[in-house]
Homo-oligomer: A and B are copies of this chain.
Amino acid sequence: MKFIKEQIDLIKEKDPAITNTFEVFLYPCFKALIYYKISHYFYKKKHFVIARYISEKAKRKTGIEIHPGATIGKHLFIDHGTGVVIGETAVIGDNVTMFHGVTLGGTGKEKGKRHPTVGNNVFIGSGAKILGNIIIGDNVKIGANAVILRDVPDNVTVVGIPGKIVKVG
């Protein structure tokens, strides 16, 4: 219940378009993270098929695909959400904001830990693809449609294909 209250406060804080607490229950992000909590529970108990069934159902209902094995910190906010993909071995820190179309995925070349580790207070623009077992530092901003294939240090802004640092601090 604490999680639900936190989510409501978070969405009301983040989205300037919101007018009413009831609207929060319509947010795909809100639904997707509740589904994730449940699928992650079954995943940890090694009920992989049930876990995956729940995550696929969540994807159909919200457009957001979070693998049950992903590790997610506090206060993740996913705006809109259609096309978001978060891989099995992805790790997300606290206070991360991401938009629709963001991928934390693999390159198809790695085994084991093959998805990114994202720091705290990271902002990821719509359509950005972050691929491979790389580390994104704290307070990083990633531009829309950027493609990130290497580690990104703390406190920078990265844009383009492949992602280049355009601003520090």
**In chain A between 112 and 153, which residues have their CB closer than 8 angstroms to a CB of chain B?**
114, 123, 125-127, 129, 131, 143-147
Please determine whether B162 and A159 come into contact, CB atoms closer than 8 angstroms: yes
Interface range, A side: 35 or more
A100 B103 Cβ-Cβ under 8 A: yes
A131 to B63, CA, bound (A): 21
| A17, CB-defined interface residue at 8 Å | yes
**Is there a chain B Cβ closer than 8 Å to A6's Cβ?**
no
Note all chain B residues with C-beta closer than 8 A to A103. Answer: 99-101, 126-127, 144
**Residue A108 contacts which of B83, B88, B97, B162 (CB distance < 8 angstroms)?**
B97
The answer on a CB contact under 8 Å between A99 and B105 is: yes
Chain A contact residues, CB within 8 Å of chain B: 16-17, 19-20, 22-23, 26, 28, 48-49, 52-53, 56, 59-61, 63, 65, 67, 69, 80, 82-83, 85, 87-88, 97, 99-101, 103, 105-106, 108, 111, 114, 123, 125-127, 129, 131, 143-147, 159-162
Mind listing 16 A-B residue pairs with CB under 8 Å? Answer: A17-B67, A20-B49, A26-B49, A60-B61, A63-B83, A82-B85, A83-B100, A85-B126, A101-B127, A103-B127, A125-B131, A129-B144, A129-B145, A131-B144, A145-B145, A159-B161
